[in-house]
Structure 1
């Protein structure tokens, strides 16, 4: 958050310049740059240098004033046909904008101070007015509407609701997710292998309760075969797969 530090009665270099112009009662459009620059530099020399950030702003303006002063002291070339731009023009524009915003700030401050002295009464509404409800003319509200038309509108709305229903998807049942983890199924197969040295792969799968359990059991068999805990064999193509457990007691 930006912090504005006031130096005596001035909030910045433009505030100081505006003060010097008002003090010397000079026209802002015709600044006596030499005199104003000298006064500005005298103020800079007396400033305390506690805050370098604020001090740097005044020094930048001092350099700007010295630059304008040097350009105005230079003799004009007689060969130049076009009118030379006033070196003070940009500074004058900045001072005018700053003065406008400063006046606006004073105006807002005065309005705030005036508003602090104003008190507003809370709105009060008599009970009979608050409870009043405008009467409803049912005949005018219904108009030419009758039960037959209301029934027709109701059936039309219901038909639109039926048309939105997908005849195929509406018959689908709810699919519930089965939570079967590979690690749990591997423990199940390992326990089975500890008590069965030789068993049928088909019989192991048929003992499972769902398709998901069959798939996860098949993956568990592959994992145990990969780590060498079981051995799988098949004598002929399409024959039942035999599993030999190396963990049986």
Structure 2
């Protein structure tokens, strides 16, 4: 899956879905993706629970294995100079300047959060459910619609994978991240209650600390806005 954006910039942008079935290509892409993530956690320290230190720990093999997981779908935004011929605007060329991870489909029993104040969740026979996380655009490429392109590409993928079923894509935002909230609302997401940090990180499949070390005021206060975008089936 490849989606492109022609922006008033010296670059042209494409969003690619990292493939899982080409071991040689995947090995190369895993290295580029790891570099992007390390940069992301340094630039957006408040937006990511991971740190540079924690992102540096996984081995190269474990990074590849995670990208291969059937329920983990990784999208990268790639920037190419405007002079790049279309035939060379492939995932292995250009610079990785943005990313997004889509987790799913997720069963209702795992997806649903009690006391979230959100909308009713449909059964798995009626709709598929997805968790969106790790949305990032490099500062040098912001203002050209790359974030919008990433989010729309992931949502379109969820619709395609859902077939005749409806699809539901969820994103959790930091309560102070007003720009992210505004972006989701502009892209047809709707408010769907609130979540706490524990729920958000668990849904994003991030490593959680020992519950005994968790500060209740930090981990269990439902202050994080939840956004959902739903689409009807084919």
Give the TM bin, normalised by the shorter chain: under 0.3
Larger radius of gyration: 1
Q: Point out the structure with the larger strand share.
A: 2
Q: Point out the structure with the larger helix share.
A: 1
TM-score of the two chains, using structure 1 as the length reference: 0.18
Higher relative contact order (CA 8 A, sep 6+): 2
